[in-house]
């Protein structure tokens, strides 16, 4: 029974981590840290360094994809590099500003922040409003795509981690 408690805690951490990801919270990193803790408890025998390296790399890829997609979609929908950076910075600021609102504040804040950031940094004298709003819409779509990819990678981390922990 005592040896199953760490595995149960790992499963709980994975579930909580997956639930945190859509809220813009570091759920993926909670999952990675939980797996590292589980591996340390087992002397890195059951879960080895290769598995840990793989989930850390997946976490970095997820973070980069999330940021890059907001940037890329803002540009795809008519924005400039400024709009892309505005999408990234706006999403970060929006997430922090939305934190006091329970449950959905981070999500709404990140999406609104990405939109506003892209629009504000895209807009300049002589810029068409359609182009400016298009960059904002692209930032929102990029943020949504990035979050979906991050959730998918979170599932992959969970599957890899549980396979290694059970194996």
Range scoring the smallest mean pLDDT among 3-12, 53-62, 127-136: 127-136
* Helix intervals (H) in 3-128: 4-20, 27-41, 49-76, 81-98, 105-122
Please state the domain count of the chain. Answer: 1
Whether 59 is in a domain gets the answer no
Retrieve residue 93's tokens: 């600021």
Q: Is the pLDDT of residue 2 over 70?
A: no
**Would you say residue 153 lies in a domain?**
yes
Longest dimension (CA), the chain: 69
Range of the domain at 93: 4-54+64-166
Q: Note the pLDDT of residue 151.
A: 95
Of 11-15, 105-109, 128-132, which one has max mean pLDDT?
11-15
Asked whether the beta carbons of 102 and 124 are under 8 A apart, the reply is: no
* CB proximity list for 104: less than 8 A, separation 6 or greater: 23, 98
Overall average pLDDT of the 52-68 stretch: 94
Written as six digits, the tokens of 120 are: 């504000």
Helix 49-76 × helix 27-41 angle, to 10°: 170
Q: What is the pTM of this model?
A: 0.83
What gap in Å lies between CA 132 and CA 130, rounded to an integer?
Answer: 5
In a domain, 20, yes or no: yes
Residue-wise pLDDT tens digits, 117-147: 999 999 888 778 888 899 999 999 998 999 8
């Amino acid at each position: 029974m005592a040896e199953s408690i760490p595995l149960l805690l790992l499963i709980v951490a994975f579930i909580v981590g997956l639930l945190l990801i859509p809220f813009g919270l570091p759920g993926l990193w909670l999952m990675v840290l939980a797996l590292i803790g589980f591996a340390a408890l087992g002397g890195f025998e059951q879960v080895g360094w290769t598995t840990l390296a793989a989930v850390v790399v997946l976490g970095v890829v997820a973070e980069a994809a999330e940021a890059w997609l907001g940037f890329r979609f803002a540009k795809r929908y008519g924005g400039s590099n400024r709009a892309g950076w505005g999408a990234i910075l706006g999403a970060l600021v929006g997430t922090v500003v939305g934190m006091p609102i329970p449950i959905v504040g981070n999500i709404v804040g990140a999406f609104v922040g990405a939109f506003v950031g892209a629009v504000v940094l895209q807009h300049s004298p002589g810029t068409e409003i359609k182009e400016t709003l298009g960059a904002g819409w692209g930032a929102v779509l990029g943020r949504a795509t990035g979050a979906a990819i991050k959730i998918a990678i979170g599932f992959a981390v969970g599957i890899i981690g549980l396979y290694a922990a059970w194996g």
